Amino acid sequence: MTSLRVAVDIGGTFTDICILDEDTGLIRVAKTASTPDPIDGFMTGLREGDVVLADVALLSHGTTVATNALITRRLPRGAMVSTEGFRDVIEIRRANKEDLWDTYKDVARPYIPRRDRLTVKERVDAAGKIVTPLDEAGAREVARILRKRNVAAVAVCFMNSFTNATNEQRMKAILEEELPGVAITASSDVMPEIFEHERFSTTVVNAILAPVVGTYCERLGERLREGGYKRDLLLLHSGGGVMTTKGARQFAARLAGSGIAAGAIASRYIASQCGFPNSIGLDMGGTSCDVSLAWEGKSRVTKDWYIEFGYPIRFPSIEVLTIGAGGGSLAWIDEGGSLRNGPQSAGANPGPACYGRGNTVPTNSDANVVLGRLGKGLAGGSITLDADKARDAVQTGVADKLGMELHEAAEAIVRVANANMADAVRLISISRGYDPRDFALVAFGGAGALHGFALARELSIPVVIVPPNPGVTSALGCLLVDVQHDLSESYIQSVATADVAAIEARFAALETEAWERMRHEGVDDDQVVMERTVDMMYQGQWRSMAVPVGSPIGSLDAVVLAFHDLHQREYNFRRDGAPVDLYRLNLRAVGMVPKAALAEHATGGARPEPLEHRPVWFDAPAAFDTPVYWRPDLPAGAVFDGPAIVEQLDSTVVVPPGARATVDRYLNIVMRMEG
């Protein structure tokens, strides 16, 4: 019997399957269209990948079900119960707008409408003292109304509950008693941290997603069991780890952003495999491009994120910057006469002009067709590319208007797209104190490998890696993760007055909670690793930075020194004498999932004959006669110099003149600038 590890990554357009045979380490992939009920696509994908569920040792899953439920507002009726006078915290938000100037671009409506936000008399002050005890009769009255309204989920959000949860927990208990079967979520359970909007918003998202995620897990679990799967289903969360379905029901909001994390994890893994602990991931698809960064083998994590602006989800999430630059991004001339690229996109339908489905505005893909970088078809010929239509679009849309020659115009389109992506990479790297020259760029997604090398050159990144299956790299990310829980709590104290024993006790309490969660998920104790960090800042500052600390912490002096160093690295200045504050304690608990090794291929295979030679334009008026290789033909160890094009089912790799490409033993193409 074979033993398989299977990852299923469901995106908006495609469902990607990645299957790893534990015995051989070989990977095979499948891709199928996503379906209105994502579970249908899931099962179809398994069938197309010839997966026998009874043979599957581990099934992990990246899903957009939570994200989509939020965006489309296809949510169960949820309610919120808060302190009297604070019904509107989640509608008031921080009151700011995402688009500062466009008065017709609105912030999304709250996930729970005002009528379903009820209040009860109670109050706790900043020091944790109960100023007003919970009005039990009022609490029962709220429960009566909510029962009558037949709500599926309730978020209990009381002021200052992070300092004293007594009232909030009592309210939760009353609701649980009065509303059996309804998911009740208290803010002090989800995120015991200061700042009401951020805590309430996270709690509300968690509460209303609980029934969505619960139902989904149940339905999917049933189909999988019917198919013969006997193990736990693992769900990828935004923090870059997985949870079992038990954990997912409790921390449903962590599934929001699940899909985006997968690509970042895969890119980090692939770079590490090639010996690069520092990497930048470039996941470029049809409409957008996701940029992520890993430093010393770890993905950058942020707590400042949201699915819709104004509604923060404060669970840690892998930091990903998304910009509107994809294969389908439109190139256009604005009224000031400038050549623009995106963010509008022709999407998958009608798609670029070369798809021949009616769009005549040039896109990045059209420019790549004109330049000869894309050939006659995509996805193994299932999409035919019409070069005449691409040329017409570039000629009339850009070349004629700017008085350029056709190929010059196409080159211009690509250069602007690359420059926009380079700006995004700068924001996530240079402005965080990282030097791109210390990184490798992992280029994937359908279009990443077309632009990767040029982008790297723009940023002085010395190495570009294109994984074997660029189009399904995210699914690979789902295969490579561990069970992970992130816990935190506010701890606001000056270093000068902080008591190490008290901090140690708080960490111990967080660890107890983390052990409980890990056991609940069935992780063996000896597989669990705990990592502590403390958020710190100079006294008087408002943003903190996470500083890793040991267990036990030992002396705070070393921690403070580490903080000064980190501040220096990220912000280029330090105030060695200035007082430092502690702000928050964080604990990451990781339940290691045993990894299967990917197959290594013997190097030394001969370079194959190219499929063809075709003219390809690179920064020059004349085309290069360029060999085109079929990627499955390229053996490990093959070395070739640009110009070259490598075609494969789900992507096209551009190796420009001056670059040298090597196929490594994992079949990654690794490109470097020669000379």
Residues 572-611 within binding reach of another protein (CB under 8 A): 572-573, 575, 578
Token output for 361? 């505005």
Coil/strand/helix, residue 184: strand
Angle (CA) 30 35 38, round 5° = 85
- Residue 400 binding another protein, by CB under 8 A: no
What sign has the CA pseudo-torsion 539, 543, 547, 551?
A: positive
Binding positions for another protein, 271-300, rule CB under 8 A: none
CA distance 663 to 644: 13
Least Å distance between CB 457 and another protein?
Answer: 11
According to DSSP, residue 296 is labeled: T
Least Å distance between CB 85 and another protein?
Answer: 4
C-beta closer to another protein: residue 13 or 396 = 396
C-beta closer to another protein: residue 235 or 410 = 410
C-beta closer to another protein: residue 112 or 472 = 112
Q: Which of 296, 335, 525, 526 lies at the binding interface for another protein (CB under 8 A)?
A: 335
One DSSP character per residue, 385-399 reads --HHHHHHHHIIIII
Token output for 445? 């997604």
Coil/strand/helix, residue 632: helix
**Which range binds another protein by CB under 8 A, 18-26, 425-433, 549-557, 588-596?**
425-433
Are the C-beta atoms of residues 314 and 303 closer than 8 Å to each other? Answer: yes
C-beta closer to another protein: residue 77 or 246 = 77
Are the C-beta atoms of residues 508 and 482 closer than 8 Å to each other? Answer: no
- Residue 88 binding another protein, by CB under 8 A: yes
**Which range binds another protein by CB under 8 A, 6-14, 110-118, 245-253, 349-357?**
110-118
- Residue 126 binding another protein, by CB under 8 A: yes
Least Å distance between CB 426 and another protein?
Answer: 6
Q: Which of 183, 270, 412, 450 lies at the binding interface for another protein (CB under 8 A)?
A: 412
Token output for 602? 């013997």
Q: Which of 570, 600, 609, 619 lies at the binding interface for another protein (CB under 8 A)?
A: 570
Token output for 542? 């408002």
Coil/strand/helix, residue 203: helix
CA distance 70 to 661: 43
**Which range binds another protein by CB under 8 A, 213-221, 343-351, 412-420, 556-564?**
412-420
Token output for 591? 């339940």
Q: Which of 21, 136, 408, 531 lies at the binding interface for another protein (CB under 8 A)?
A: 408
C-beta closer to another protein: residue 118 or 669 = 118
CA distance 79 to 171: 13
CA distance 366 to 356: 11
Are the C-beta atoms of residues 210 and 186 closer than 8 Å to each other? Answer: no
CA distance 90 to 98: 16
- Residue 542 binding another protein, by CB under 8 A: yes
Q: Which of 37, 48, 50, 106 lies at the binding interface for another protein (CB under 8 A)?
A: 106
C-beta closer to another protein: residue 60 or 418 = 418
The CA-atom distances, in angstroms, between 424 and each of 281, 292, 418, 451, 461 are: 12, 10, 10, 14, 14
Least Å distance between CB 294 and another protein?
Answer: 20
Are the C-beta atoms of residues 442 and 669 closer than 8 Å to each other? Answer: no
CA distance 436 to 453: 14
- Residue 404 binding another protein, by CB under 8 A: yes
- What helix, strand, coil percent values describe the chain, rounded to 5? 35, 30, 35
Q: In whole angstroms, how large is the CA radius of gyration of the chain?
A: 26
**Which range binds another protein by CB under 8 A, 104-112, 441-449, 463-471, 626-634?**
104-112
**Which range binds another protein by CB under 8 A, 103-111, 230-238, 241-249, 644-652?**
103-111
Least Å distance between CB 510 and another protein?
Answer: 21
- Residue 89 binding another protein, by CB under 8 A: yes
Residue 403, by phi and psi: left (phi above 0), alpha (psi -120 to 50) or beta? Answer: left
- Residue 92 binding another protein, by CB under 8 A: yes
Least Å distance between CB 12 and another protein?
Answer: 26
- Residue 75 binding another protein, by CB under 8 A: no
Q: Which of 1, 36, 74, 101 lies at the binding interface for another protein (CB under 8 A)?
A: 101
- Residue 114 binding another protein, by CB under 8 A: yes
- Residue 337 binding another protein, by CB under 8 A: yes
What sign has the CA pseudo-torsion 560, 566, 567, 569?
A: positive
Token output for 501? 């024993």
Binding positions for another protein, 157-216, rule CB under 8 A: 159-160, 162, 194-198
Least Å distance between CB 421 and another protein?
Answer: 11
**Which range binds another protein by CB under 8 A, 73-81, 90-98, 271-279, 292-300?**
90-98
Q: In angstroms, how far is CA 399 from the centroid of its own chain?
A: 37
Binding positions for another protein, 132-151, rule CB under 8 A: 144-145, 148-149
Q: Which of 115, 181, 382, 497 lies at the binding interface for another protein (CB under 8 A)?
A: 115
Token output for 421? 């992506």
Are the C-beta atoms of residues 354 and 387 closer than 8 Å to each other? Answer: yes
- Residue 103 binding another protein, by CB under 8 A: yes
Binding positions for another protein, 444-503, rule CB under 8 A: 492
C-beta closer to another protein: residue 194 or 560 = 194
Are the C-beta atoms of residues 155 and 206 closer than 8 Å to each other? Answer: yes
CA distance 211 to 328: 36
- Residue 528 binding another protein, by CB under 8 A: no
Q: Which of 571, 613, 620, 625 lies at the binding interface for another protein (CB under 8 A)?
A: 571
Least Å distance between CB 94 and another protein?
Answer: 4
Q: Which of 22, 40, 55, 91 lies at the binding interface for another protein (CB under 8 A)?
A: 91
- Residue 415 binding another protein, by CB under 8 A: yes
Least Å distance between CB 141 and another protein?
Answer: 10
What sign has the CA pseudo-torsion 552, 556, 562, 563?
A: positive
How many CB atoms neighbour CB 614 within 10 A? Answer: 17
